Amino acid sequence: MECKSVDLLKEKCSPESYEKLMKLNNVKLHDFVTKYVELCNPDSVYVCNDSDEDKQYIRNKAIENKEEWKLAIDGHTIHFDGPKDQARDKANTKYLIPAGSNLGSLNSIDKTEGANEVHGYLKNIMAGKEMYVLFFCLGPTNSEFSLPCVQITDSSYVGHSEYILYRSGYEQFNNIGDSPDFFRYVHSAGELENGVSKNVDKRRVYVDLGDNIVYSTNTQYAGNTVGLKKLSLRLAINKAAKEGWLAEHMLLMGIHGKNKRKTYFAGAFPSACGKTSTAMLKGETIVGDDIAYLRKKDGVIYGANVECGIFGIIQDVNTQNDPVIWDTLTNPGEAIFSNVLLTEDNIPRWLGDGREVPNKGINYNGEWIKGNEVSYAHKNARYTVSLYNLKNTDPKLDDPNGVEVKGIIYGGRDSSIWPPVQQAYNWAHGVVTMGASLESETTAATLGKEGVRVFNPMSNLDFVAIPIGQYVNSHIKFAQEVSSPPLIFAVNYFQKENNKYLTGMEDKRVWVKWMEQRVNNDVGAIETPTGYVPYLKDLEVLFKEVLNKDYTMQDYLKQFTVKVPENLEKIERITEIYKTKVKDTPEELFKILKEQKERLEAAREKHGEYISPVIFAGNKQA
């Protein structure tokens, strides 16, 4: 390192922080930190290692800097983002790509232009502030899944959130020596006004795939600032495509069957579509609720949770819907609440919590009084908790080998097409008709209009860092060397008739049990033109065993009738997207969609447009 750089670091760091940084014998790391110390110009730099003292320092700073406030329950704090900083900013999240490169329809900007812009915003942005340098590991440590990361930020709230959500990574950097193979993040909340980012018009989230760097400026909302979350997913997808593994927007969970059997599933759902509530189902165990890495080893697919915490949507978390999370959020233990209502007695309140609407409090807009036209909490309000604090966390959370994945679930908000659960014919059929064809109705988790049906392959479109055609093709080919690939399923918790949901909140407990039984060959299934669906008799047993609830033929027909017109329209939509908007779509996708179309048309010719599953059961009792 040049003398000028050494002098700068010694000037900004305490002797202890300087020693912690220099202990990591990695020139690329030192150069990275030095570059942004010089550019951002903080008053001081605090370097964190894996010690409890450093973690507590960040927690204390979050309170001292008024980024968080203590709540009545021990360990609980609250954070507010500004009124215009409540969700992921998709429009201003862009890839920095070199001249001549092409990411198809993905949101991108010329690398030189984008880097100049964001570096302009970062110039002196931390003047008067303290910079934090933190180290984390994506995936279990000392594992094939491990990806070391360094975060630079001036937000103690961001640092605190990451300490809850991710495994410490200082020692992981010791393990990689002078390797340049690590992810880098630079974030600043920018100028603050009333404790929130003031210049949201200069909010930028830029991803440099070539150098594995994420830049985030003038924002506090964790989806834009916690670099290791969805921003890391973009870097990991690009890395995985080069190395032959998958980085996915997926839960990981253990579904418990008969005779103490446990079967691990991964599942991809867009935000606010039931992913966390599925991972947290009563009677099952959670490995992760959001992001998973999938790797092949000895002809088997294994998955690992990238994180060790949950940044979850808090709306509708109550004693009935999410009892485990409710218990965590109403008892002592470390938890951050964001964009909920702070009441006079320092108790957080959120939409759908099952309690009487409060009379007044403070929310992300300021003081709130009952009757105000602005909701007392935001629809995208969140909680941040550690998985280690949950009673249902799976014991293999930190297993360096990951867990063997035997089933994959795709789900979204679909009011009119998919049944509650169905199984693909095979891996490629599932990847194409369930994963690559996934559509979902938009929610408050992203900026823009709600309720719009959007194309969202693998529920990962916002984060895919390679051309979509290549991404789909990598999925199709991923299982080619796997002797018994995971079974693929599609679920839909949001079927409607006359604007009323056809399934209950807890019915998903039955659908996952049926999937677990299918993976283990416990029950048969009915072959329909779009996949396999349950027999009525098996659902009758499961609803009684799991929910102590009767399941009727009327329920069955409403939920599992094959809707030929809607399915055909969907195939036309998806085919058109892949023909006109996606580069290098694999021919196998068109072939599989064409075959599905032909099956539906043949069924319509024989049975009509809306076909009871009983008809497809033939001589077997449905």
The catalytic residues are 273
DSSP string, 57-70: HHHHHHHHTTSSEE
Distances (CA, A) of 549 to 30, 324, 546: 61, 22, 8
56 class by beta-carbon count within 10 Å (0-12 exposed, 13-18 middle, 19+ buried): exposed
Sign of torsion over alpha carbons 443, 446, 448, 453 = negative
Q: What letter would DSSP give residue 519?
A: H
Picking from 622, 434, 606, the residue whose alpha carbon sits closest to that of residue 530 is: 434
> 320: helix, coil or strand?
coil
| Residues sharing a CB contact under 8 Å with residue 588, sequence separation 6 or more, in sequence order | 428, 432, 476
Long-range contacts of the stretch 601-607 (C-beta < 8 A, 24+): 601/564, 601/568, 602/529, 603/528, 603/529, 603/562, 603/564, 604/564
The whole-angstrom distance between residue 596's C-alpha and the CA centroid of its chain comes to 30
- How far, in Å, CA of 198 to CA of 308, rounded? 31
Cα separation, 294 vs 301, whole angstroms: 7
Tell me how crowded residue 323 is: count the other CB atoms within 10 A of its CB: 15
Pairing of strands 309-313, 335-338: unpaired
Contact (Cβ atoms closer than 8 angstroms) between residue 135 and residue 170: yes
